[in-house]
Structure 1
Amino acid sequence: MIDRVIWIVLDSVGMGEMPDADKYGDVGANTIGNVSKALGGLNIPNLEKLGLGNIEGMKGVNKVENPLGCYGRFAEMSNGKDTTTGHWEMVGVYSEKPFPTYPEGFPKDIIEKFEKETGRKVIGNKPASGTVIIEELGEEHIKTGNLIVYTSADSVFQIAAHEEVVPVEELYKICEIARNILVGDHAVARVIARPFVGEPGNFTRTANRRDFSLVPPHDTLLDNLKNKGLNVMAVGKIEDIFSGKGITEAVHTKDNMDGVDKTLEYMKEDKKGLIFTNLVDFDMKWGHRNNYKAYGKGLEEFDARLPEILDAMRDTDVLIITADHGCDPTTEGTDHTREYVPFIAYGKELKNNVDLKTRKTFSDIGQTVADIFDVEPIKNGESFLNIIKK
């Protein structure tokens, strides 16, 4: 009997363009394949043993005989390629309409209302790299106390502030004000607090980032698990992505390895239900910054920690490893990429070497988890538990 699922999302670790990638400007994107090619290969033997290289369409990863896990690739049914859309679809929310983006900056009326309600002026208001814009405007921010507001190709309203100018708790309150303003046609997926420290020429963003996401429009797998009395333990930015909805307890993390540590700590506890982890460095630190070398190293570092996770698993555990979208660091742009995502499942209750081929929606994962725990079904998903369970 399976009584716990450890679900790890490798944020942005896509595996090749989807058929509609041209609509998103992502023809040729392949996060894993292109990183591997640029580096001359990846040293990820543990993921390979589970079947990563055996997934249909996978490039740059070695195939093995008789993989230990169940594996496949999943298409995104929703219109989008961002964190919120991907995670929501996994647990049963189909996003037909993409979240709004602002390639020219936010409208004057939005900024004016934000300035009035926060009591601080805005500088920036344009798409930008977070590290670049704080170098550009950080000194002015320190002198004036004006807030650095910027966006990206994603549906985000980001607010950067020096922790000695705007204390972190105040920045969080400012983000809540923005979240309440950004509704209706301007309901961006996330408002993000981007605190930083340091001096001009040497600014550094801190681990006190926090995302203020939209609340899912209806109950998800997480709510269904919680309503049945099961634990939903969130690691990393999972709590933020769902605005706490359906979460029973949560811990935030400072980097990928801290995320692995926190996952292992939850695994030591004797609690039934779901441990839901997001490892964000692939996306935030490396994908958006086109740092394919660090991206590859990050994959290898996670692979090196995988034996610890496998050793900590109980006979009644299932491990799921997947992603929410792509963010190919070898492309010219710094945006997310519209890609298939890899899927691996492993556990003593599951069969070995099961090829799930290509599935049409991320929601199939959530529906399979719903079947494992015998909770209310989610929307859009089709379970494959009968295919992978012994």
Structure 2
Amino acid sequence: MINRVIWIVLDSVGMGALPDAQKYGDEGSNTIGNVSKALGGLNIPNMEKIGLGHIDGIKGVKKVENPIGCYGRFSEKSEGKDTTTGHWEMCGVCLEKPFPTYPNGFPNEIVTAFQNAIGTKIIGNKPASGTAIIEELGKEHIKTGYPIVYTSADSVFQIAAHEEVIPLERLYEMCTIARNILKGEHGVARVIARPFIGEPGNFTRTANRRDFSLVPPHDTLLDHLKNEGFHVMAVGKIEDIFSNQGITEAIHTKDNMDGIDQTLNYMKQDKKGLIFTNLVDFDMKWGHRNDVKAYGKGLEEFDKRLAEILDAMKDTDILFITADHGCDPTMPGTDHSREYVPFLAYGKALKENHNLKTRQTFSDMGQTIAEIFNVSPIKNGTSFLKEIIHQ
């Protein structure tokens, strides 16, 4: 019997370019492999023990004898390579076209509508690194009170503001206003609040980031679980990614280690259903900033904490570990990368040393969870439960 699934998404930890990566400019991307190569290897024995090194095509990871879990790699069926696209596909929503991006900034019609709605001008309106743009425009922002609006290679409308200039409640209100404007052809995946503190030359972004995603176009795995009375416990930005749809309780986190702490806290509560965790530091702090050394250290730190999760698991728990896209910090640029994602599964109810090989959509994970809990199937994907469970 399986009473609970702990599903951990290592945000951006891809494992090699997908066949269509050329279309996205991502040939040669391999987040795990290239980080490992750049650092002379990774010390991640717990993921290797489950079977990470046995995944087809993986590089830079040790292959242990007799791994204790199931493993495979997953292709992304949807068009795109961002957080919302990846998480939605896991839960049954596959996109036929990617969310819009704005390499030249947002058009006048959007900027004018937003300025009129918030009653003030904006500054910025261009693609930029979040840390760079607050250094560039932070002083002007403090002087004028105008919010900093910027985007990236991802489908995002980001609003940066000093917490002493624009209070958090007002910043979140501005994001809600932007979210209501950005629909239809301009329906970006996420509007993101990017608060910061400090003085010119020494600004620091805070943990009060909030993501305001589009509402999924139809019910997802999370709705199916909630509707059948199961707990859906969201850790990190999961609640934001799904616009709080299908969530029964949620907690935001300040970093990866806090995310693991909160996951362990939910595990102690012994509620039947899904604990769904996103660990965002790989992407936000290290991948987009091309910080190879910190990325590798982050993988090793997660692996150490993984031992605590394995120890805390009950016989009726199973663990899924995966990613939502890549963000190879060794590649030119700072964009996400179109990659396969690794998949690990472990639990007393599951087989050992079972290779799922290459699956064609992230939705197979969600379909498998739907079958575990005997809820309505999701719209995409094929369950692999019968492959991995002890008969």
TM range, smaller chain: over 0.9
Residues 131-185 of structure 1: CA distance to partner in whole angstroms, max 9, x if unpaired?
Answer: 0000000000000001100000000000000000000011000000000000110
The corresponding residue for 2:82 is 82
> In 1, Cα distance between the equivalents of 2:254 and 2:213?
19
Residues 44-93 of structure 1: CA distance to partner in whole angstroms, max 9, x if unpaired?
Answer: 01110000011000000000111101000000000000000000000000
The residue matched to 2:139 in structure 1 has which SS? helix
> In 1, Cα distance between the equivalents of 2:114 and 2:384?
47
The corresponding residue for 1:299 is 299
> In 2, Cα distance between the equivalents of 1:98 and 1:294?
30
The residue matched to 2:260 in structure 1 has which SS? helix
The corresponding residue for 1:172 is 172
The residue matched to 2:372 in structure 1 has which SS? helix
The residue matched to 1:297 in structure 2 has which SS? helix
Aligned letter for 1:292?
V
The corresponding residue for 2:224 is 224
> In 1, Cα distance between the equivalents of 2:63 and 2:259?
28
The corresponding residue for 1:212 is 212
> In 1, Cα distance between the equivalents of 2:98 and 2:109?
22
The corresponding residue for 1:251 is 251
Corresponding position: 1:47 with 2:47: yes
Aligned letter for 1:271?
K
Aligned letter for 2:61?
V
How far apart are residue 270 of structure 1 and its match? 1.8
Q: How does 1:1-390 map to 2 (within 5 A)?
A: 1-390=1-390
> In 2, Cα distance between the equivalents of 1:271 and 1:48?
29
How far apart are residue 281 of structure 1 and its match? 0.1
TM-score, normalization by structure 1? 1.00
Residues 270-302 of structure 1: CA distance to partner in whole angstroms, max 9, x if unpaired?
Answer: 200000000000000000000010000000000
The residue matched to 1:48 in structure 2 has which SS? helix
How far apart are residue 109 of structure 1 and its match? 1.1
Aligned letter for 1:262?
Q
TM-score, normalization by structure 2? 0.99
How far apart are residue 119 of structure 1 and its match? 1.1
> In 1, Cα distance between the equivalents of 2:260 and 2:82?
23
> In 2, Cα distance between the equivalents of 1:155 and 1:30?
22
> In 1, Cα distance between the equivalents of 2:22 and 2:367?
29
Aligned residues: 390
Aligned letter for 1:362?
F
Bigger Cα displacement from structure 2, 7-16 vs 108-117: 108-117
| Contiguous gaps of at least 5 residues in structure 1 | none
Residues 297-356 of structure 1: CA distance to partner in whole angstroms, max 9, x if unpaired?
Answer: 000000000110001000000000000000000001100000000000000000000000
The residue matched to 2:161 in structure 1 has which SS? strand
Aligned letter for 2:296?
G
Q: Give runs of ≥4 in structure 1 deviating > 2 Å.
A: none
> In 2, Cα distance between the equivalents of 1:347 and 1:217?
33
> In 1, Cα distance between the equivalents of 2:21 and 2:94?
18
The residue matched to 1:278 in structure 2 has which SS? strand
> In 2, Cα distance between the equivalents of 1:98 and 1:306?
33
> In 1, Cα distance between the equivalents of 2:120 and 2:159?
12
The residue matched to 1:315 in structure 2 has which SS? coil
How far apart are residue 379 of structure 1 and its match? 1.2
Residues 103-134 of structure 1: CA distance to partner in whole angstroms, max 9, x if unpaired?
Answer: 00000111011011101211100000000000
Aligned letter for 1:237?
K
